[in-house]
Amino acid sequence: MPDAPPPDPADHAEDFAHRHADRLDEYAALRMEELGIPEHLHGAPDFEADGRWRAFIAHNRTGGRLTSGITVNSGCLNPGLLNGQKGVRVFAKACLRDRIDAIIAHEYEEDRTGSHEGAIEGRSEDRASDYRGS
């Protein structure tokens, strides 16, 4: 019988992310491509680990990050990621694909506007369908 998952949702999300990092990395890169994110933003080096280029970084917990490119992280697996923030109920109930799409769209908007605040004001999470072409 496998070990019980950690009781804390963020710890549980990170534990799952580490166990499935390769598949999540592949999926995050595929979603970036399908959303029409420019190729030069598909991932970034993970300098906190082995320095390899990744679209998904298991050990981070913020949902996503913009450095030299966009990365998604274990925060996408945590339904409580946005606790205390606008959008918490929608994010908590969203399927994984929609959470990942919202994170990618938000990070893309950060790149486009030059700031986190600009991405929030642009309501990029509501515009994920714009990137899908839906």
Name the residue ranges covered by the structural domains of the chain. Answer: 9-132
The whole-number pLDDT of residue 134 equals: 43
CA distance 29 to 37: 10
Among candidates 59, 67, 72, 69, which has minimal Cα distance to 103?
Answer: 72
The whole-number pLDDT of residue 2 equals: 59
Going residue by residue through the chain (134 aa), what tens digit of pLDDT does each one get?
Answer: 357 888 899 999 999 999 999 999 999 999 999 999 999 999 999 999 999 999 999 999 999 999 999 999 999 999 999 999 988 999 999 999 999 999 999 999 999 999 988 888 875 445 555 544 44
- Confirm whether pTM is higher than 0.75: yes
Q: What is the DSSP letter of 125?
A: G
